Amino acid sequence: MSPTPALTVLEEDKHWWFASRTRAILKYLDAELGAAGPGEDRRILDVGGGAGNMAHHLAHYGQVIGVDYNARPLPVAKARALTTSQGSGTALPFANNAFDLVALLDTVEHIDDELGVFAEAQRVLKPGGKIIVTVPAYMWLWSYNDVINDHKRRYTVKELSLKLEMSGFRVKRASYNNFFVFPLIAGVRLLRPDAPELDSPHLTEEEDVYQVEMEPTPEPVNTILHSVGWIEAELVERTSLPFGTSVLCIAEKQ
C-alpha cells in the first residue's frame, strides 16, 4: 500500500501538537544556539528524524543530516532532498567531534539503552556543542498509547536532566511542555487509560513511513490549541513550566 499523500510537512506544521512542540524547540535553539550566519559551517544531526519532518526547521541553524534505525521513512526523506542514512542511536555512523547540534526529538523514549544514546551524542558533538531532547512526561501518565507506540519509559524534568549530566552534559534549559492542556490529558489518562489521547496518538502503517505522531484535530479546536501553544512558547522562552505532558531540554557538551 502506498503512503497517503495527505501527510505533508506543511500539514504537520498546522497540527497544534506538532506546532506547539516545534515552537518550544525553536525558542530554546534561538536562545542557546542562534541562527547560522552567512558562511557559518554548522552541522546538525537529527537522530530518529525519519522522513525529515523537522529538517526544514532545524535547517535555520545549520546543515541537517538525518539518521534513523527504521529504514522505511528514509526514501521519503531522500525524496525531500535531505541527507539521511540508516543507523542506530547507540552506534552512530559518524566521527568524533563532528556536529554542532544533536537533536533527539521524541526519540529516546523508544530506545532501551538511553544512556548509550546520550554517550554517542556526546561523542559526535564538538566541544561546546548542544543537544536538544524532547520526551513524554511522567510515568504515572503511562497508557495504552505508550504501549502501541513502543515507548520504553516516560520522564520528569529532573530525571532527564540528571541522565544528561551523568553523560557529560551541562543542562542549560529544561521545562515541561503542553502545560495548559495537561489537566485535560491527565484526566483522560487517569480515568480512561485505554482511550485515544491528544498528545501522542498511535501510528498507522502509512503514518509510520512519515513518523507523524498525531491524529487530526477538528476545527475550531485545532485553532484554539494553536493559540494556546503560542502563549506557552512565550512562557517557555522566559521560564520553566512546572508540569506538562512533555519534557524539553537543551544541554551543552562539557
For 98-148, write each residue's pLDDT tens digit.
999 999 999 999 999 999 999 999 999 999 999 999 999 999 998 888 888
pLDDT one-digit tens code per residue, 146-181: 888 899 999 999 999 999 999 999 999 999 999 999
Domain 9-253 in CATH: superfamily? Answer: Vaccinia Virus protein VP39 (3.40.50.150)
Rounded to whole angstroms, the Cα distance separating 110 from 31 reads: 28
Q: Which of 50, 126, 54, 128 is nearest to 86 (CA)?
A: 50
Phi-psi domain of 48 (left: phi exceeds 0; alpha: psi -120 through 50; beta: other): left
Domain boundaries, the chain: 9-253
Q: Is 147 exposed, middle or buried (0-12, 13-18, 19+ CB in 10 A)?
A: exposed
